[in-house]
């Protein structure tokens, strides 16, 4: 398989996997996969700022800022003044955000186990390693 065919396969598999997991999360938790991923990054990044989310997802600050606005409006995230940088704020999960993340992680883990079950643990690790090498 050449690089173009591998690229097409990678994009299709990622899209199919994302859409399937996203649909189940929306049905069972009421949150998109993107929102669950955002909550996860905020939870695991001490002092998380909008810039940290943008970096984690390789997207623009403007796009992430709108997403954070929606999370805040939904009562899942709070913005607090940054202790040093007065131009930015620190993102934290609200109790509702923590509960939504816990439910989302549970569904995400279950769905990924079911959908990636054809791969053994070593193969998942190998796949992750190969994909990590492709990141800039």
**Residue written as token pair 């796009």:** 63
Sign of CA dihedral 108, 109, 115, 121: positive
Domain 3-134 has CATH 1.10.357.140: no
Closest listed residue to residue 93, CA positions, set 71, 108, 61: 71
Domain boundaries, the chain: 3-134
Instruction: Name the E strands within the chain.
Output: 77-81, 89-93
- Are 90 and 46 in contact by the 8 Å Cβ rule? The answer is no
Helices and strands in the chain: count of H runs, count of E runs:
6, 2
Please state the pTM of the whole predicted model. Answer: 0.88
pLDDT digits (tens, 9 = 90+) for 69-128: 999 999 999 999 877 777 778 999 999 999 999 999 999 999 999 998 899 989 999 999
């Amino acid at each position: 398989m050449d690089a173009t065919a591998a690229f097409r396969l990678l994009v299709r598999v990622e899209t199919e996997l994302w859409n399937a997991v996203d649909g189940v999360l929306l049905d069972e938790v009421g949150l998109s996969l993107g929102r669950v991923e955002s909550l996860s990054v905020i939870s695991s990044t001490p002092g998380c700022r909008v810039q940290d989310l943008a970096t984690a997802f390789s997207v623009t600050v403007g796009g992430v800022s709108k997403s954070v606005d929606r999370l805040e409006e939904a009562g899942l995230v709070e913005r607090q003044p940054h202790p040093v940088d007065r131009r930015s704020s620190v993102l934290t999960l609200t109790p509702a955000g923590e509960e939504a993340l816990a439910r989302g992680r549970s569904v995400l883990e279950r769905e990924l186990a079911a959908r990636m079950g054809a791969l053994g643990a070593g193969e998942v690790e190998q796949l992750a390693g190969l994909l990590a090498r492709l990141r800039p």
